[in-house]
Amino acid sequence: GAGVSQSPRYKVAKRGQDVALRCDPISGHVSLFWYQQALGQGPEFLTYFQNEAQLDKSGLPSDRFFAERPEGSVSTLKIQRTQQEDSAVYLCASSLEVGGAYEQYFGPGTRLTVT
Partner 1 sequence: DQQVKQNSPSLSVQEGRISILNCDYTNSMFDYFLWYKKYPAEGPTFLISISSIKDKNEDGRFTVFLNKSAKHLSLHIVPSQPGDSAVYFCAAATGSSNTGKLIFGQGTTLQVKP
4 vs 79, which CB is nearer to partner 1? Answer: 4
Tell me which residue of 33, 26, 4, 14 sits closest to 79, measured CA to CA: 14
40 vs 70, which CB is nearer to partner 1? Answer: 40
CB of 3 to partner 1, least distance (A): 9
CB of 100 to partner 1, least distance (A): 5
> How many whole angstroms separate alpha carbon 49 and alpha carbon 56?
7
The contact set with partner 1 (CB under 8 A) reads: 4, 31, 33, 35, 40-45, 48, 55-56, 59, 91, 93, 95, 97, 99-109
13 vs 30, which CB is nearer to partner 1? Answer: 30
Task: Give every CB contact of residue 54 below 8 A, 6+ residues apart in sequence.
Answer: 47, 48, 67, 68, 69
CB of 102 to partner 1, least distance (A): 6
**Residue 108 zone, left/alpha/beta (φ > 0; ψ -120 to 50; rest):** alpha
